[in-house]
Amino acid sequence: PAHGQHRTSNELRKQGVFVSGSGVRSIWLRHGLENFKKRLKALEDKVANEGIILTDAQVTALEKKKHDDEACGEIETAHPGYLGSQDTFYVGNLKGVGLIYQQTFVDTYSKVAFAKLYTTKTPITAADILNDKVLPYFEQYELPMLRILTDRGTEYCGKVEHHDYQLYLAINDIDHTKTKAMSPQTNGICERFHKTILNE
């Protein structure tokens, strides 16, 4: 269930079954299995009904889902743009460039995600992804961004009049919700996106 359509196509090819990535996607759509959550649910149902034996990877995926559900919970949202989740992810250190950070934004309703790389972790870079990618995307569909959830990092928090990110949110009339201190799993949707990027 954790594999994307192209990786699934490659795994099938190893077993002598030749189906393109788009073919895999078509089959998933036909059977209502187009996303990870639906494929996991189908696997859970198959285990319950038929008592099949799972591979190690399938067991790991199911246990991970249970852990994520307990740790993160589901975020209630009403429509796209209702709540966005933003986080900073340390990518690494590139020789000749220095430290690389990724600003990540995920719409909690549609799961549309944006990521952009920066060499600094500042309020300016946190606001830049919103200005450059996020708000223009939602504006093309005439959807306002109402609220953004972040951790309490210095790139997101500070006094409005002296903090570029806070000022940007105020100018664009976006509410700012902060996670509980020392509780990164509250912003679990970004954490899961970061894990997906690392795994793929």
Instruction: Write out pLDDT tens, residues 13-26.
Output: 999 999 898 898 89
**Which residues are 99's β-sheet partners?**
93
Q: Can you tell me which residue has the tokens 């306002």? A: 144
Of 97, 194, 109, 187, nearest in space to 143 by CA: 109
**CATH number of the 84-199 domain:** 3.30.420.10
70 pLDDT band, cuts 50/70/90, is very low
Exposed, middle or buried: residue 129 (CB in 10 Å: 0-12, 13-18, 19+)? buried
**What pLDDT is attached to residue 67?**
57
Query: Greater confidence, 43 or 124?
Result: 124
**What pLDDT is attached to residue 55?**
78
In the chain, the amino acid numbered 86 is Q
Highest-pLDDT range among 2-16, 31-45, 138-152:
138-152
**What pLDDT is attached to residue 71?**
45
String of b and e for 80-103 (b: at least 16 CB within 10 Å)? Answer: bbbbbbbbbbeeeeeeeeeeebbb
**What pLDDT is attached to residue 191?**
82
Domain ranges within the chain, ordered by starting residue: 5-72, 84-199
- Residue 20 CA to residue 1 CA, distance in Å, equals 17
- Residue 8 CA to residue 28 CA, distance in Å, equals 11
Six token digits for residue 32: 């209502």
CB of 85 within 8 A of CB of 108? Answer: yes
Each residue's pLDDT tens digit, 88-145 = 999 999 999 999 999 999 998 889 999 999 999 999 999 999 999 999 999 999 999 9
> Which DSSP string corresponds to 94-106?
ETTTEEEEEEEEE
> Residue 134: how many CA atoms within 13 Å on its side-chain side?
36
**What pLDDT is attached to residue 44?**
78
Using DSSP's 3-state secondary structure scheme, residue 77 falls into coil
- Residue 86 CA to residue 126 CA, distance in Å, equals 8
**What pLDDT is attached to residue 166?**
92
Each residue's pLDDT tens digit, 154-184 = 999 988 778 999 999 999 999 998 887 666 5
Residue 147 has pLDDT above 80, yes or no: yes
Which DSSP state fits 177?
E
Angle at 55 between CA 52 and CA 61, to 5 degrees: 105
> Residue 199: how many CA atoms within 13 Å on its side-chain side?
11
Angle at 192 between CA 98 and CA 63, to 5 degrees: 130
**What pLDDT is attached to residue 181?**
63
Residue 69 has pLDDT above 70, yes or no: no
**What pLDDT is attached to residue 75?**
64
